[in-house]
Amino acid sequence: MKDIKITIDSPDIVRWPETDFRVCVSISNTAKDHQDIFIKEIGIWAGGVILGSAAVGRKLPSIAEGVAVARTLIEKPYYQKKKLLRFLNNSICSFTFDINLKAVKPDLSYGDNFKLVATVSVIKDGKEERLDVSREVVYYQALQKLPGWVAGDPHVHTRYSDALPWCTVKRQALACKKAGFDWVIITDHDDLLDPIAYARERLQCRAAEKMFDIAVLLGEEVTTTGGDVLVYGAGRYISRWEGSSQKTGQELIDELRFSKGVCFLAHPFRCDIFGDHRWKEWHVSGYTGLEILNGRCSEQKALEAWDWLAWERDDWKETGEQRWVGIGGSDAHHLFGIGRKFTFVFTDGSKSHSSIINALRSGYAVASNGPLVDFTVKGKHLGETVTLHQGERIFLAVRWLQGQRLDRLRVVMNGRAILEIDDITFHNSNSIQIPITIQDPGFIRIEAEEGNKVAYTNPIFFT
């Protein structure tokens, strides 16, 4: 019906499931003959992005059919309707709908937005017709965090790697935003970049950052003779080549130290159908840490190596000069890998690039695929050092998210689990004081389990 114009006005980005939002649907009669048009009812439904155009530009004989179109991408469609029973004569009328996002429940495993569809039932010249108009809305999850903490993915690839061509910086940044992250580090493979492509990608990161209000940092994944290294904060393109020779792990680490960058060993025990990506040069020194959680491989061996580096390795055990930070990343080469593994960092709420890099450097971080747990010892935080005496009895002040039901809390001292507490969330509390006795200098870290989700804090060291 050409004489009817329908528009939808709503926020472009909404936070799921915490934010309700208002949708305004306007209907105007543009008929030149001043003929009245009878508006019978108006409805609006919210659901996943429709594959094809099944619900747009055709009649919807029933509410049920309109809902059924969207069922492939949402768990619970949402529908409102209002009976109007009024004439519209060369004028505009507007109607508002308050939509509860908890009722929408978009399927967050998909990388698309959800769709609002306004359906208007009109009668003209005795004939009833349903008209539809739609628009997409970007949603993102409300990932819970303790005050001052921000969450992000430090290992994400785009089409500049061997990723799918539609995995642009913009799409990956949006996927991270929708996963509830505050920041992301783009880490494309160095052999598929060059200084020009790196500069172009930096501009794309800045554009995505402004568009989605998420910190988008640019790093790299550089392949050395020892294996793959995640590089952050270098400020320039880093190549694996030194002349005609491939750099060793130590050569890359030394180069980054000069550039004031940080580096982490990526998936140090990954070996699969895509190749052997295990780290081979464990004698190197000066790197920041290692990826203990990776979205494409198991973490058990990486955890064992992390503890060995921090305690069992004799050349570092006596000096205590080297502390390795553990992080988690998805290693996503497509949209659907985002959110598998990630890292919480404490920045006092800041999303500046420098504060995120500094938190990764210092170890004020938690590798996770869901829960968040933090602890202090005598006021010292993750990554810091506290002076204790042999035989001294101390208390670990542990806290977690309010309402988070932890199944198990494990205290690891010097690479060995010394205490496990099951069903930790009792008396509706989100904190506990755990007494332990110090035997030898070393470190303490905490592991938390929530169903099949885990969190690994970085250690607090003691001398």
Q: What pLDDT does residue 78 have?
A: 59
Mean pLDDT per 10-residue section of the chain, whose length is 463 residues = 77 67 79 67 62 28 30 46 67 75 55 69 79 76 88 96 83 89 97 93 97 96 97 95 93 90 93 81 92 88 85 54 86 84 97 98 96 96 93 95 88 94 73 91 93 94 88
**Token pair in block for residue 443:** 């470190």
Domain ranges of the chain: 4-141, 143-369, 371-463
Q: What pLDDT does residue 70 have?
A: 30
- Fold of the CATH domain 143-369: TIM Barrel (3.20.20)
Q: What is the CATH number of domain 4-141?
A: 2.60.40.10
Q: What pLDDT does residue 199 have?
A: 96
> Which strands sit side by side in the sheet containing 393-400, from one edge to the other?
373-377, 393-400, 431-437
Q: What pLDDT does residue 221 have?
A: 97
Domains 4-141 and 371-463 in one fold: yes
**Token pair in block for residue 409:** 């809390």
**Token pair in block for residue 290:** 């290692």
Q: What pLDDT does residue 61 have?
A: 30
Q: What pLDDT does residue 133 have?
A: 83
- End-to-end Cα spacing for the chain: 79
Question: Do 319 and 311 meet the contact criterion of CB atoms below 8 Å apart?
Answer: no
Q: Say which CATH class 371-463 falls into.
A: mainly beta
Rounded distance between C-alpha atoms, residue 310 and residue 203, angstroms: 38
